[in-house]
Chains A and B, each alone.
Chain A
Amino acid sequence: MKVLVPIKRVIDYNVKVRVKPDNSNVDLANVKMAINPFCEIAVEEAVRLKEAGNATEVIAVSIGDKSCQEQLRTALALGADRAIQIEAEGELDSLNIAKLLQKVVEEEQPQLVILGKQSIDSDNNQTGQMLAALTGLAQGTFASEVKVDGDKVNVTREVDGGLQTVALNLPAIVTTDLRLNEPRYASLPNIMKAKRKPLDVKSAADFGIDLSLRTKVLKVTPPAEREAGIVVETVDELVEKLKNEAKVIS
């Protein structure tokens, strides 16, 4: 069974985000970049499926300029077998990405596609579901457990009230939630080995898809700052303030 893992290069989650003074976007100049944390969990899950004998090959794919090869090498160091970079300049939205991934799915015919549930930059939470719609496949989003069982996969999902388990016909699309697994650290020998693993480069333009944007970002601003309040000395004072000043308890 082949597993395809689409990954995204994003700002490192430890970096404090700053908005550009002209409010056109956030400032990503000279900022540390990394593999999106949910995508890293997706890579780890695919590699574990291979280690458990459920998967035979793990393919990582990323869409972007040459710099995303860095994150593909990270995926290879974590245990992916080969990688595909789809060269694309400039902004793409989730639907464009899903359409390009649909072409990769048609070409590679994976039994399972595992993606992060959302990227920590745009916070859209769309690509996996859109890819599932375009390919006509079933989806198990926000997964906290993935169990392959014959021609089906059981996915336990993190939902508002607790957990929900669904059974999906394979091939299927899975998106990862935080508690699916804890990704390993790539060892130095594996980082070295990853440099020699195959990485194909394709051009997005060759897929013949209209990649125009359907949304326009008019401005990006910093969030309203919340002013720090006061420190009270005693619980009595706290209760008094909540009753008489904030009037949120009676």
Chain B
Amino acid sequence: MSILVIAEHDNSTLKAETLKTVAAAQAMGGDITLLVAGSNCQAVADAASKVNGVSKVLLCDNAAYEHQLAENMSLLVTELAADYDHIVATALTTGKNFMPRVAALLDVAQVSDIIAVESADTFVRPIYAGNAIATVQSLDAKKVITVRATGFDAVATDGNASIETLDTVCDAGTSSHVSDELTESERPDLGAASTVISGGRGMQNGENFSLLEGIADKLGAAIGASRAAVDAGFVPNDMQVGQTGKIVAPDLYIAVGISGAIQHLAGMKDSKVIVAINKDPEAPIFQVADYGIVADLFDALPELESKL
């Protein structure tokens, strides 16, 4: 069996989630090829060649893939798919964008967002915002799979795979990139951080999120938010943790002023240790927290920062 994994990257660095997606591919069993499609992305291919479990890296370096537009990526992957039994990508916004296109072009169903692999054709995935877990068998000869990275442990990076350069250019010509407005941050990525501290509606406004920053600095944490805080306009949507935002599973998750709506829990309940700070003792967040403290966050946060 052979598996094609599509690397997540920004043309300069390989995203950590790819290491977890490769782990999922290993569980499916087979020879793994890692595709790096981008523009001026040699550095990513070099990093990809060190990923354990990967036997070959395919490098497709062309302006057509600079922004990994779904129209172009799907044509490329579909063309390469002939040689593989499984086509696997990470369920981040890039993979979610082009993979269903690949599946439709190959005329196969896609199994989205898997959190476990039972066998080469059977996968486990959350449905209903994680309120139910489905075990799904794919009946297609070719499997198209997206992987929820938090379900798998990253593989190591001391491998030495060969890099093969392809000059396949797929440009559908139907779409173009206009601009990016990316959030600049010194902090780790929400998806990759080992500690996350998130604020909810209890933060009262955007300025008060600065109370989380001192703690985040001391813990090397990423800062997140609940949908309620995003909808209230406190912080931008890319900070949202939840079913409709980012799914995280850090070693330590600190929920501050977050009541614990189902939608939020779906995004963080697989964290190893959950801490809740909330002044309402009845808040549902306490039902999933390992350690809860019933307190006014405006007292508890400065004290916590001073004691770390």
Which chain A residues have a beta carbon within 8 Å of chain B's beta carbons? 11, 16-17, 19, 26, 93-95, 98, 120-134, 136-142, 144, 154, 157-169, 172, 177-179, 213-223, 226, 228-236, 238-239, 241-242, 246, 248-249
Contacts and interface: CB of A to CB of B under 8 A. Distances in A.
Contact of B275 (A127, A141, A166, A242): A242
A248 B272 contact: yes
B188 interface: no
Given A139-B101, A166-B178, A179 B237 contact: yes
B74 interface: yes
Contact of B110 (A11, A94, A162, A165): A94
Given A16-B131, A138-B71, A222-B131, 12 more contacts: A123-B112, A124-B110, A125-B112, A126-B100, A129-B104, A131-B104, A160-B191, A167-B175, A215-B139, A220-B132, A220-B133, A235-B303
A160 B92 contact: yes
Contact of B70 (A121, A139, A234): A139
Interface stretch (B41-49, B155-163, B281-289): B281-289
Interface string B166-183: 000000101111111111
B273 A129 contact: no
A214 to B, nearest CB: 4
Interface stretch (B19-27, B51-59, B121-129, B205-213): B121-129
Contact of A217 (B100, B136, B176, B286): B136
B270 to A, nearest CB: 9
B292 to A, nearest CB: 5
B223 interface: no
Nearest to A231: B292
Contacts, number: 252
B16 interface: no
Interface in B232-268: 236-238, 243-244, 246, 251-252, 262
11 contacts: A17-B131, A26-B131, A123-B113, A126-B112, A130-B103, A161-B183, A179-B230, A214-B138, A220-B132, A223-B126, A230-B291
Contact of A126 (B103, B105, B139, B175): B103
The DSSP consensus for interface residues of chain B is mixed
Nearest to B300: A235
Given A95-B103, A123-B128, A178-B244, A162 B304 contact: no
B30 interface: no
Contact of A134 (B104, B182, B303, B308): B104
B98 interface: yes
B292 A229 contact: yes
Contacts of A26: 127-128, 131-132
A204 to B, nearest CB: 17
B134 A238 contact: no
Q: What 9 A-B pairs come out closest when comparing CB atoms?
A: A129-B100, A229-B290, A133-B104, A130-B104, A214-B109, A138-B174, A126-B100, A138-B175, A133-B101
Nearest to B71: A138
A174 B244 CA distance: 17
B204 interface: no
Given A138-B71, A160-B191, A166-B178, A19 B132 contact: yes
B135 interface: yes
Contacts of B281: 231
Contact of A238 (B101, B175, B291): B291
Interface in B85-109: 92-94, 96-105, 107-109
B293 interface: yes
A231 B183 CA distance: 36
A180 to B, nearest CB: 11
A248 B308 contact: no
Contacts of A169: 174-175
Nearest to B265: A226
A238 B304 contact: yes
B293 A231 contact: yes
Contact of A139 (B71, B92, B179, B182): B71
B1 interface: no
B97 A120 contact: no
Contact of B96 (A125, A140, A221): A125
A161 B238 contact: yes
B219 interface: yes
A249 B97 contact: no
Contacts of B74: 133
Among B175, B176, B295, find the residue whose CB has the most chain A CB atoms closer than 10 A.
Answer: B175
A133 B127 contact: no
Given A160-B92, A166-B176, A231-B286, A246 B291 contact: yes
B69 interface: yes
Contacts of B29: none
